Amino acid sequence: MAQQSQIDINPLKQAKANVTLTEQLLTQAIEKSVSDEILVQEALKQAVTEIAQAQAAVSQVQSAMQTQAKSKA
DSSP state of 4: P
Q: Is residue 7 part of a domain?
A: no
Q: Measuring CA to CA, how many Å separate 21 from each of 2, 9, 40, 47, 70?
A: 39, 19, 15, 8, 34
27-65 confidence digits (pLDDT tens): 999 998 889 999 999 999 999 999 999 999 999 999 999
Based on the structure, what is the number of domains in the chain?
1
Q: Measuring CA to CA, how many Å separate 28 from each of 12, 51, 53, 64?
A: 24, 16, 20, 35
**Cβ–Cβ under 8 Å, residues 58 and 12:** yes
Instruction: For residue 64, give its domain range.
Output: 13-72
Q: Is residue 65 part of a domain?
A: yes
Query: Mapping DSSP to helix (H, G, I), strand (E, B) and coil, where does residue 60 land?
Result: helix
Residue 72 or 45, more confident: 45
Q: Is residue 1 part of a domain?
A: no
Query: Mapping DSSP to helix (H, G, I), strand (E, B) and coil, where does residue 7 land?
Result: coil
Q: Is residue 3 part of a domain?
A: no
Q: Is the pTM of this model over 0.85?
A: no
Q: Is residue 2 part of a domain?
A: no
